Structure 1
Amino acid sequence: MNKILKRNTDDVAARSDFYRNAFNSTRKFSYNTVKALAINEDQLKNILPVQVSNDILMEPITDSSIKAYATVSNKSGLEIPKLSIQLNGADYIDDDGTLQELNITGDSIQFKRYRQFIGIAITDTIYNALDDKFVSSVEQGLKTAVEAIELNNMFSLQPKYEHMSFYTCGIKEIQGNDIYETIKAAIKDLPNPIKRNAKIVINSDDYIALVELLASKGISNIPFKQEIVIEEKCVNPVVGDLSYLHINYDNKVNYDVQKSIKDGLYYFTLDFYGDIQIKLRSAFRIVSVNK
């Protein structure tokens, strides 16, 4: 069941009151809504309440989402010292590639403020639905839009911001002619502490190709110990520890709502600031199979 529907009745009612007032532009929130969502009516009329914005931005949609494994934070001006980076809790780093990366990429990782825009359309039917259906539709739509932007950034071959994409940030590529052997070589090439927590991110077409190839070799089960995460945006499989993928949101989330006279739809838009950093490139490998 959707997480939104698991919230208590008072919380759902408060969120419903907030969205309905946002949609009809009155911004006259009830006392219970102001209290439950900690709304400052004078200052935050066009800013999403912290509790709501955190749920929309930071909660993954499903347990298999990339965001469920990544590091997610909400800190303004976040900076992480490189000295704090360890390999799955190890007190020392003995991998030459990792040591070289830490030596040449500076003393810290600085998260910047990149502005992103998302929007969803809500029909009158949804607007007039019961509170739980209404809140679920709005928040699920916003979460989906946020994650779509993030996945486009992570898996684009020509991203707007090169450091956000697995394919353009400088991750080592492992090439081969056989998807099974190439993934196996990529896992073997990872630092030993990384292998234990590594995931294999792959799209469904490549996953089917992998299963069919293994079947042709007489192998009935996928022999990798690493968990497989299906992500359709993934162009070439990515192998590595997704906890070194870090999404940070910076400061407040602004919203706006308008109803179109042309189609009768409510358009709910957000703009927010954030950054995606791959904190340790040597914790990943790109699997490139010649086709």
Structure 2
Amino acid sequence: MKKNMVLKLNLQFFAGSTLFELKQNMATIGQQLQKIEGELSAKAIDTTSTMDDLKALQSSKADLQMRFDVIKQQHDQMEAEQKAKFAAQQKADSLGFANEKDPKQKVVKAKAELIRATIRQQPVPLEAKAALGDRNDTGGEKLLPTTMTNELLMEPLVKNPLREISVFTNLMNLEVPKISFQLDDDDFIDDTETAKELKVTGDVVKFGRNKFKVFAPVSETVIRGTDVNLVQGVERALESGLAAKEKKVAFTKTPKAGEEHMSFYQTGATAIKRVSGADIYEAVVNALADLHEDYRENAKIVMNYADYTKVVKFLNNGNSTYFAAPPESVWGKSVKFVDAASEPIVGDFSYSHFNYDLDVLYERDKNVRTGIEDFVLTAYLDHQIKLKSAFRIAEVTTVQGA
């Protein structure tokens, strides 16, 4: 009874100790226990020692072992509690999900955690992936979660004007019909150019996968900074890169091999029809008139701002009427300005279709020369002009002898 009372008092004493104190007590009693075990072994082989001596040492060993077990139990319990508390606190500090009530701020914190984890080559916390709508259950692939993918592809901070008038999708192995409806009469298409085009190229468009990367440089200072600054900096860089790539493939006159079909200025047998005029204004007027009425109804004009100012100066002829008027008043059609459009493009841009195939991937890369980390986005893009006959390129021709 007395020994149990002592052990109970010791248990209560150890329960009020710190983890460090418990570790010290374990070490002290452990050393005493080893000493007693050594003495017990020595007495056991000493023929001069009595049984009372052995029993006394065995009793001391049992007492020390019981004390050691009590301390270890308290130590292990306290250590487990502290580890759990630390892990929970660390998660709460890094993500702020426990106290964050604003859904928008929660997404910002999740994005920041994803970027930091990627750059530091650490696993992305499950809470961050869940907040971003991650569909990847295994965690093995480096797939950008749904929320971030949609915002990067559909809501850029740096605008690509084509996103307002062209079609944008994010679908795998996409195939779409070139025209939205058919009739049982094969001759229902009034536009002869469209009918010829469908006969030559078929009535279905298959989208491919053209891989490209966007690099967002991030300094260690920014990584350690606020979530808002980190997310804004990285997203602005990635969105600018995506918008720049989209405009480049659509308006280049020197496309990369395999990307020729993505440009409005593609040459050759499948090129968009060109309509000329004595000046830019007349060329656009003629291009609109040359379109079939099915396309003219929804037609828009994409041109660079420098060409538009030339038109305004010509139309003003000494007054400032058109400088104050909206661009739509010049041709009666909506105008989008893209500096990369070297020649005005007129047509129904619902037949301009951008598709991002597969999920956007993310990874990191380090510039060893500067020490700056890169958050890298890999995407697969294709731009298909579903019907070339829905567009015209307005070009200026100079009459010889004029």
TM-score category of the 2 structures, normalised to the smaller one? 0.7 to 0.9
Equivalent residue letter for 1:109: V
Determine helix, strand or coil for the equivalent of 1:251. Answer: strand
Where structure 1 has 5 or more consecutive residues not aligned to the other structure, the ranges are: 1-5, 87-91
> What value does the CA root-mean-square deviation take over the aligned residues?
2.4
Paired position in structure 1 for 2:313: 212
Indicate whether 1:162 and 2:248 are aligned. Answer: no
Which residue in the other structure is 2:31 paired with? none
SS in structure 1 opposite 2:118?
helix
How far off its partner does 1:144 sit?
1.0
> 1:244 Cα deviation (Å)?
0.9
Q: Counterparts in 2 of 1:103-182, with a 5 A limit?
A: 103-160=199-256, 161-168=259-266, 169-182=270-283
Name which of 365, 369, 391 aligns with 1:258.
Answer: 365
The code of the aligned residue for 2:193 comes to G
The 2-side partners of 1:80 and 1:206 are apart by 34
Q: How many residues align structurally?
A: 280
Q: Which amino acid aligns with 1:280?
A: L
Check whether the contact 1:60–1:68 (CA below 8 A) recurs between aligned residues: no
Question: Percent of counterpart pairs with the same letter?
Answer: 34
Q: Structure 1 CA distance, aligned partners of 2:294 and 2:242?
A: 32
Q: Is the 8 A contact 1:64 1:229 kept in 2?
A: no
Higher helix content, 1 or 2: 2
* CA distance 1:191–1:273, shift in 2 (3 Å): same
Structure 2 residues not aligned, in runs of 5+ = 1-101, 183-187, 323-328
Aligned to 2:173, what secondary structure does the other structure show? coil
The Cα shift of 1:22 comes to 1.2
Matches of 1:65 and 1:139, distance apart in 2: 18
Q: How far 1:206 moved relative to its partner? A: 0.9
Structure-2 separation of matches of 1:44 and 1:201: 43
Greater relative contact order structure (CA < 8 Å, 6+ sep): 1
- The answer as to whether partners of 2:113 and 2:124 remain within 8 angstroms in 1 is no
Supply the distance in 2 between the matched residues of 1:48 and 1:140 (Cα, whole angstroms): 16
Q: Deviations over 1:138-192 (max 9, x none)?
A: 1121111012112111111121211100010511111222111111111111111
Q: Which residue of 2 aligns with 1:9?
A: 105
Q: Which residue of structure 2 lines up, in the alignment, with residue 233 of structure 1?
A: 340
Corresponding residue number in structure 1 for 2:129:
34
Q: Within 2, Cα distance between the matches of 1:216 and 1:127? A: 56
Cα offsets for 1:62-86 (capped at 9, x unmatched): 6662122111111111111345368
Q: How far apart are the structure 2 equivalents of 1:245 and 1:217? A: 38
Between structures 1 and 2, the one with greater strand share: 1
Partner of 1:81: 177
Question: Hey, what's the Cα distance between the residues in 2 that align with 1:83 and 1:202?
Answer: 26
Alignment match of 2:115 (pick from 13, 19, 30): 19
Q: Does the 8 Å contact 1:196/1:226 carry over to 2?
A: no
> For the pair shown, which has the larger CA radius of gyration, 1 or 2?
2
Mapped partners of 2:108, 2:247: distance in 1: 28
Q: Matched residue of 2:381: which SS? A: strand
